[in-house]
Structure 1
Amino acid sequence: MVGTTTAQRRRSALASIVTLITAFALLFGASAANAAPNAPDEGDDKSLREVLEAASKGHIEAKAKLDNSKKRQGELAAQYDALQQQLVALTDEVGTMAAESYRLGRLTSVTMLLNSASPENMLERAAGLDVMAQREGRNLRALNEAHEQAARAKAAIDNEVREQEKQVAIMARKKQDAQRALAAVGSQASGGFISTTSAAAQPAPRNSNGSWPSESCNVDDPTTSGCITPRTLHAMNQAKAAGFTRYVSCFRSGGSGEHPKGRACDFSAEAGGFKDRDATGDNRTYGNNLAAYYVNNADRLGVLYVIWYRQIWMPGNGWSSYNGGGSPAGDHTNHVHLSML
């Protein structure tokens, strides 16, 4: 009887353990499945990442508006130049018509009677002066309209100049925001990673005005069971096409930054996956080249920022030192981090 009781207790304890394991699996299974098994724990500073994201996004949006304004200004300038040429031609033509009208005299009953040798001559002269008057009226109306169009074009150009000044000021403020946030954690300008041999990526789709379309996390992430944005997938595929084919992990359900939004990827410096050690030799060269690739193609792809080997690159701010806490994952010395708009 005692043996039976002990066996029952053992079975009951085993059942409890199985139940707990099942509960944990159900609770955390989705999160574990959504991330790569050896995805790096970057130890994100949430407040810092939020400031950097806002600063980079604000800079990129202002830059797109600035570029669009410059494009419109160029179109308006061409229109204004064409109108100026039209004004010169119309002014000359109106002047010629005025001189001819002055030489022949205006059509009145007196001039017709005094200067006409015959009734037929009088009618011919009347018809000629009437045609001249009509032409002169058309030219004068065209001249006035050209003047008004030129004035409107000039006012539109002035508006574009003011818009550009506004966007330049916004870009300056966003740069200051980023610099203050980085300075608060001991960061300062650095040399970064530069390559003049990076391949040119195929540009990601933009709106007709040059801005970046808003995207949600609605594309299957090929590196996890999560999701990423179409622009993030495009950036990852472009890097692969350029020869950067080592291990990648994008979506993570937890943490701060862009990973949970499907707008970030971590690229291992080593071919076999993320290792808890600083990249050296060929692995570090791989990371250097990949970081440079994304910086050189930032405007084509919609890059928000890049972190690699204790340095961070942001549009408008360039490379700055980056302290992630000392670990290879936190300092990003074992992987390149890419964040996208």
Structure 2
Amino acid sequence: MPAAAPVRHRAARVAALIIVALTLSVGLAPAGPTVAAPPARQVAVTDDPEGGTAALRAALEEASKGFLDAKQALAESVQRQQQLTAQLKTAKAEQAERTERVEQIAGQAYRTGPLRTASVLLDNTSPADFLDRVATLEATVANENRAIDELQQTQKKIAQDTRAVEAEIIEQRKQEALMAKRKQQAEKALTVANEQASAAAAAAAAAAAAATNTTQNSARADPAPRNPDGSWPAESCSVNDPTPADGCITPRTLHALNEAKAAGFTRYVSCYRPGNSGEHPKGRACDFAAQQDGFGGDATGDDRTYGNNLAAFLVDNADQLAVLYVIWYRQIWLPSSGWKSYSGAAGDPSSDHTNHVHLSVY
């Protein structure tokens, strides 16, 4: 096959000419806008820019929602107990009055006796007078019977209210135990995740905790709408996301976003993000950049202070905004546990949350 060699040489020369042409075309192409590449990061467990793992975020969401549900149930039980206690107090006061009345009736009956009743009926001057006295006597007996019946009903109500108060106390102990369980669940999930962090990250987290807790006094947010019983209504990703993320968020997320802006936190924000785990795809989370124009490197100076104050605002208004958790500068705040260490899996500003404050709502 001697002809094969020239064919291979011609193919090699054609390939070389194509490569040269492509190189020249790239070099002569008009220059476009330069887009800075995102900082390189080593993905240890997940490729989610939120940091941590999908399992961790699911555990935190479940634990925080369970804690808030139990907290609401506890508040409702305490309110019911207060109402029942007031009813019980009223019933006992009525019992004292009605007991005294029945005792007076019994004493009167003892003093007059059945002969006195007969003499009342017989001592009359006419049939009409007799009938009037019979009617009067019947009314007296009916009144006495009603007094006794009212006393018995009051005693029954006292017994019912007492049992109801005892049931509410049992319910409160149940909800307190559930809150403690949810708190332990969240802290256990964080402990397992943070065991993977280095000693340097732990030291940085401790420093971040001190900085996070040193903030100015926060503004008060208007509360998000609740159900009549005080619980949070179920919401879907149903309103347009006004941030550049261009997706959907829940009405409660929009409320939290607007309240943060009204409090002066107006820097870059991004909420909806498809394709990841956690609350972003559900429209229940927002990332608030610490820098003015977007997510850069580690926040320092005024940017760090901005993040500290924003995190404090969200935490101080957790009940009004239905906060599930807040993450900022290697720290996570949970309604059950307060601030705890949080280390991103990748170790970059995004997963460590050193360039933005993450908010998740119920």
**Aligned counterpart, 2:303:** 283
- Quick one: which amino acid aligns to residue 209 of structure 1? D
**Aligned counterpart, 1:198:** 218
Say what the alpha-carbon RMSD is for the aligned residues.
2.5
1:51-66 alignment, distance < 5 Å = 51-66=59-74
- In 1, the alpha carbon distance for the partners of 2:185 and 2:324 equals 15
- Quick one: which amino acid aligns to residue 186 of structure 1? N
2:251 matches 1:230: yes
- Quick one: which amino acid aligns to residue 251 of structure 1? Y
**Aligned counterpart, 2:286:** 265
- Quick one: which amino acid aligns to residue 142 of structure 2? Q
**Aligned counterpart, 1:176:** 184
Shift of 1:194: 6.1
Q: Is the 8 A contact 1:64 1:211 kept in 2?
A: yes
1:143 paired residue among 148, 151, 157: 151
Unmatched tracts of structure 1, length 5 or more: 1-5, 15-39
- Cα offsets for 1:132-164 (capped at 9, x unmatched): 211111111111111112211111111111111
In structure 2, the CA distance between the partners of 1:108 and 1:254, relative to structure 1 (3 Å rule), is same
1:242 paired residue among 254, 259, 263: 263
- Quick one: which amino acid aligns to residue 250 of structure 1? C
State the TM-score, normalizing by the size of structure 2: 0.77
- In 2, the alpha carbon distance for the partners of 1:225 and 1:110 equals 94
SS in structure 2 at match of 1:181: helix
- In 2, the alpha carbon distance for the partners of 1:85 and 1:249 equals 60
- Quick one: which amino acid aligns to residue 74 of structure 1? Q
Q: Is the 8 A contact 1:65 1:210 kept in 2?
A: no
Q: Is the 8 A contact 2:249 2:284 kept in 1?
A: yes
- Quick one: which amino acid aligns to residue 78 of structure 1? A
- Quick one: which amino acid aligns to residue 280 of structure 1? T
2:78 matches 1:81: no
- In 2, the alpha carbon distance for the partners of 1:109 and 1:51 equals 79
- Quick one: which amino acid aligns to residue 210 of structure 1? G
SS in structure 1 at match of 2:237: coil
Give the length in aligned residue pairs.
303
- In 2, the alpha carbon distance for the partners of 1:209 and 1:47 equals 32
Shift of 1:326: 2.0
2:339 paired residue among 306, 313, 319: 319
Q: Is the 8 A contact 2:213 2:308 kept in 1?
A: yes
- Cα offsets for 1:199-226 (capped at 9, x unmatched): 1111111112211111110110001220
Moved more, 312-321 or 43-52: 43-52
2:323 matches 1:303: yes
SS in structure 2 at match of 1:305: strand
- In 2, the alpha carbon distance for the partners of 1:107 and 1:158 equals 49
- Cα offsets for 1:22-70 (capped at 9, x unmatched): xxxxxxxxxxxxxxxxxx9323411111111111111011111111111
- Quick one: which amino acid aligns to residue 99 of structure 2? T
Q: Is the 8 A contact 1:107 1:126 kept in 2?
A: no
Moved more, 42-51 or 258-267: 42-51
Unmatched tracts of structure 2, length 5 or more: 1-13, 23-47, 196-201
2:114 matches 1:106: yes
Q: Is the 8 A contact 2:289 2:357 kept in 1?
A: yes
1:150-165 alignment, distance < 5 Å = 150-165=158-173
1:292 paired residue among 312, 315, 334: 312
**Aligned counterpart, 1:33:** none
- In 1, the alpha carbon distance for the partners of 2:100 and 2:251 equals 58
- In 1, the alpha carbon distance for the partners of 2:134 and 2:232 equals 65
- Cα offsets for 1:305-332 (capped at 9, x unmatched): 0000110000111100111132111111
In structure 2, the CA distance between the partners of 1:55 and 1:124, relative to structure 1 (3 Å rule), is same
In structure 2, the CA distance between the partners of 1:200 and 1:302, relative to structure 1 (3 Å rule), is same
